[in-house]
Amino acid sequence: MLKKRFILAALSAMTALRGAPAHASDAEWVKPGTDLIATLESGFVQLGAGALGVAIIIYGLYTTFTGEPNWKRLAGMVFGGACVFFGPDILIALLKAKGGS
C-alpha cells in the first residue's frame, strides 16, 4: 500500500513539474510572490511598531507600579521588535543575494 502511494505521489509530482520549464522562461511568474513580500513587509513593520510601542509603555507602567523591573523581559521585547523591524529587510537581502528581483 505504501509503495502504491509513493508511486502515485511521484507520478503526480512529475506531472506537476512537467510544465515548469515553460514557466521558467517567463519572468512574470515571480511577480505575485515579490508583490506579496512587499505587502507583508510594509504591513508587518507598521503593525509591529505599534504593538511594540504599546507593549513597552504597558511594561513601563507595570514596572513603575510594582517597582521590580525585569530586564530579561524588556530585552526580549526589544529583541522581538528588532526581529519585526529588520526581518523583512533581511529577507529581501537574502532574495537579492540568491538572484531574485
Query: What does the pLDDT look like over 35-54, one tens digit per residue?
Result: 777 777 777 777 777 888 88
Distance CA 53, CA 49 (A): 6
Task: Kindly report the pTM of this predicted structure.
Answer: 0.48
Find, among 58, 49, 53, the residue nearest to 83 by Cα: 49
Which has the higher per-residue pLDDT, 43 or 30?
A: 43
Which has the higher per-residue pLDDT, 88 or 67?
A: 67
67 dihedral zone (left: phi>0; alpha: psi -120 to 50; beta): left
88-95 mean pLDDT:
78
Which residue is it, cell 510594509? 42
Which has the higher per-residue pLDDT, 63 or 34?
A: 63
